[in-house]
C-alpha cells in the first residue's frame, strides 16, 4: 500500500515539511510495511522556497535585501536543478511578507518590492537564467515599482526628478525609462507562481481587494488604484506593450507585482501546479492508493482552487483516495466531500487559537494515527 503525503503548511504552527513528517510517523506506527512518500507543498506563498528545496534536494542561498519597510533584511532563495538547468525559486513572502511588518506599521504606501529585484540580481550574478517566483503573502501595493527600479528601470516625476520605489511614490510617476534595465533579463525564463487572478486595477484589482488586508484605508485604496492605472500606462508606453498586461489575470498579484513581472515577459501559472510540477507530485500520486493533504484552516473557499483541493483533484483523477487533515474546519466545509473521501479536523477539545497552535503537532499525530488505524482495520489483507 502506497501513501502520498502532500500537505500545505499549518500557518503559524507547522511548516509543510513538519506536517508531512508528523503524518508519515503516524502512518508508520500503524502500517510499518506501507510505502510513504512525503511531498511538502505550497502555492506560491509562504513556505514555497522551503517546500521546493526540500523535495528537490536543492540549496538555500542567503541574501541581504531591502525589506518591505526599506530596511535591510536577511532572506534567502532556493536553487534547484531542473533537467540539468539551475533554477532559482524565490518568494515574496520571505522578502517582503506581511508578517515582516508590525501590525501598527502596516500601510502599503510605505512598503516596497525592491527586495525581489535585488534577489533576482543576486541570482543573475550566480549565472542563473531560469526563475520561479511565488507572489503570495506580500505586504506591498507598489505595482512592482520597487522591483523594476532595483532591476535598472528609471522613473521620474513631473519635473524630471527621480521617483522612489514605495507605494507612496506611484502617484509621482510621470515617465518611465527601461534603457537601464539589466540586459541579462532578456535571456531569462521567469515563471510567476500565483493562484491570484485579479487584474491590476478596478473593483477586482490589487488595491481594492487586497489593499485593506495590508493596512490601506478606503481613501488610500482609491489613491493607490488611480496611481497604479497611471503608472501602468507609463510602463506600457516605455516598453511599447499593449494595455493587456494590466488587465491580464494575475496582474494584481502581490499588490501589482504580477503586472511588473508580466511586463518583463514572465508567464503566470497556478502556484500549486508549478510547485507540483517542480516536485513531481502528480507522478507520485499516480502510483498511490491513499493521498493525505492538509492546511491550517479549511472551509468552502478551499474548493476555489486552493492547494488541498488541487491535490484531492489529482488524486481523484488517478483513482486514489484523498483524505484531508485540517487544523480546523470552517463554514460550508461539508462541500469538501465533493472532492475528498474523508475530512478531519485535528483539534481534540474546545480550545483557544493559541492552544490549538501550540498543540498542533500532537493533535495532528493523533488524528493521522487514527486515520491509519481505520485504513488498517478496513483492509483485511494488512
- Residue-by-residue DSSP string for 155-212: EE-TTS-B--SBGGGGGG--EEE-TTS-GGGGG-EEEEE------SSSTTSHHHHHTG
Q: What is the pLDDT of residue 91?
A: 97
- Distance (Å, rounded) from C-alpha 171 to C-alpha 215? 18
- What is the fold, at CATH topology level, of the domain defined by 48-271? Glycerate kinase, domain 2 (3.90.1510)
pLDDT reported for residue 81? 95
For residues 118 and 111, is the Cβ–Cβ distance under 8 A?
no
Q: What is the pLDDT of residue 243?
A: 61
Give the per-residue pLDDT at 85.
93
* pLDDT of amino acid 380: 73
* Domains of the chain by residue range: 2-39+280-377, 48-271
Cα gap 276→41, rounded to integer Å: 7
The model's pTM is: 0.91
Q: What is the pLDDT of residue 135?
A: 95
Q: Which pLDDT score, from 0 to 100, does residue 333 have?
A: 81
Give Cα separations from 264 to 254, 305, 343 (angstroms): 16, 27, 42
Contact of 321 with 315, CB cutoff 8 Å = yes
d(CA 324, CA 367): 11
- Grid coordinates standing for 2? 502506497
Provide the pLDDT for residue 382.
67
- By CB neighbour count within 10 A (0-12 exposed, 13-18 middle, 19+ buried), where does 74 fall? exposed
- For residue 91, the cross-strand partners are 134
Which pLDDT value is given to residue 300?
83
Low-confidence ranges of the chain (pLDDT < 70): 242-243, 382
The answer to whether domain 2-39+280-377 and domain 48-271 are alike in fold is no
Q: Are 121 and 238 in contact (CB under 8 A)?
A: no
End-to-end CA distance of the chain: 9
Predicted confidence at residue 304, as pLDDT, reads 79
Pick the CATH number of 2-39+280-377 from 3.40.630.30, 3.20.20.10, 3.40.50.10350, 3.30.499.10: 3.40.50.10350
Amino acid at each position: 500500500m502506497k501513501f502520498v503525503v502532500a500537505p500545505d503548511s499549518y500557518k503559524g504552527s507547522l511548516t509543510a515539511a513538519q506536517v508531512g513528517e508528523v503524518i508519515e510517523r503516524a502512518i508508520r506506527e500503524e502500517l510499518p510495511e506501507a510505502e510513504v512518500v512525503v511531498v511538502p507543498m505550497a502555492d506560491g506563498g509562504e513556505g514555497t522556497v522551503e517546500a521546493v528545496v526540500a523535495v528537490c534536494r536543492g540549496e538555500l542561498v542567503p541574501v541581504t535585501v531591502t525589506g518591505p519597510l526599506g530596511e535591510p533584511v536577511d532572506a534567502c532563495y532556493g536553487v534547484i536543478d531542473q533537467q540539468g538547468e539551475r533554477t532559482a525559486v524565490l518568494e515574496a513572502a520571505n522578502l517582503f511578507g506581511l508578517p515582516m511588518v508590525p501590525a501598527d506599521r502596516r500601510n502599503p504606501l510605505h512598503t516596497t518590492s525592491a527586495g525581489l529585484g535585488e534577489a533576482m540580481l543576486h541570482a543573475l550574478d550566480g549565472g542563473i537564467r531560469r526563475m520561479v517566483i511565488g507572489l503570495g503573502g506580500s505586504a506591498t501595493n507598489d505595482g512592482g515599482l520597487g522591483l523594476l527600479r532595483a532591476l535598472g528601470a528609471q522613473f521620474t516625476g513631473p519635473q524630471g526628478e527621480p521617483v522612489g520605489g514605495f507605494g507612496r511614490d506611484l502617484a509621482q510617476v510621470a515617465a518611465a525609462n527601461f534603457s537601464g534595465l539589466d540586459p541579462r533579463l532578456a535571456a531569462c525564463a521567469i515563471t510567476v507562481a500565483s493562484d491570484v487572478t485579479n487584474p491590476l486595477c478596478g473593483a477586482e484589482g490589487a488595491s481594492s481587494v487586497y489593499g485593506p488586508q495590508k493596512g490601506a484605508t478606503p481613501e488610500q485604496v482609491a489613491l493607490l488604484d488611480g496611481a497604479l492605472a497611471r503608472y501602468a500606462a507609463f510602463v506600457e508606453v516605455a516598453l511599447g506593450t499593449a494595455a493587456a498586461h494590466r488587465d491580464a489575470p494575475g496582474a494584481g498579484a502581490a499588490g501589482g507585482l504580477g503586472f511588473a513581472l508580466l511586463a518583463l515577459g514572465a508567464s503566470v501559472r497556478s502556484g500549486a501546479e508549478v510547485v507540483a510540477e517542480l516536485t513531481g507530485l502528480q507522478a507520485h500520486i499516480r502510483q498511490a492508493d491513499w493521498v493525505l493533504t492538509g492546511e491550517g484552516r479549511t472551509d468552502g473557499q478551499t474548493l476555489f482552487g486552493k492547494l488541498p483541493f488541487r491535490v484531492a483533484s489529482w488524486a481523484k483523477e488517478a483513482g486514489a483516495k484523498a483524505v484531508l487533515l485540517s487544523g480546523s474546519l470552517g463554514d460550508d466545509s461539508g462541500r469538501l466531500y465533493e472532492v475528498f473521501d474523508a475530512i478531519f479536523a485535528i483539534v481534540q477539545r474546545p480550545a483557544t487559537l493559541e492552544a490549538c497552535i501550540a498543540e498542533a503537532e500532537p493533535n495532528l499525530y493523533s488524528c493521522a494515527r487514527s486515520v491509519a488505524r481505520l485504513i488498517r482495520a478496513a483492509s483485511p489483507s494488512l
